[in-house]
Amino acid sequence: MDIIKDIWFDASRIYMKTDAGKTFSRPLEAFPLLKEASDKDRLNFKIGKFGDDVRWESLDEDIHISSFFEIVEPDYENEIAAIFKRFPQLNVSEVARSIGINKSLLSKYIYGIKKPSTQRKMQIKEALHVLGEELIAV
CATH number at residue 104: 1.10.260
Q: CA-to-CA distance for 5 and 16, rounded, in angstroms?
A: 7
CATH number assigned to the domain comprising residue 23: 3.30.2020.40
Q: In terms of domains, do 12 and 42 share one?
A: yes
Among 46, 68, 90, give the residue marking a domain's end. Answer: 68
Residue 73 in domain: no
- Classify residue 102: in a domain, yes or no: yes
Instruction: From 26, 54, 30, 25, select the one nearest 42 (Cα to Cα).
Output: 54
CA distance 54 to 46: 6
Domain membership of residue 59 (yes or no) is yes
Round to whole Å and give the CA distance between 50 and 67.
16
Q: What pLDDT was estimated at residue 104?
A: 85
Contact 6, 20 (CB under 8 A): no
Per-residue pLDDT, averaged over 37-59, amounts to 94
69-104 pLDDT tens trace:
876 677 778 899 899 989 989 999 899 999 999 888
pLDDT band, residue 1 (cuts 50/70/90): confident
Assess whether 49 and 90 both reside in one domain. no
pLDDT value at 46 more than 90: yes
pTM: 0.66
pLDDT at 70: 72
Q: How much is the average pLDDT of 15-42?
A: 92
Phi, psi angles (nearest 5°) of residue 2: -65, 160
The partner residues of 25 in beta bridges, in order of sequence, read 15
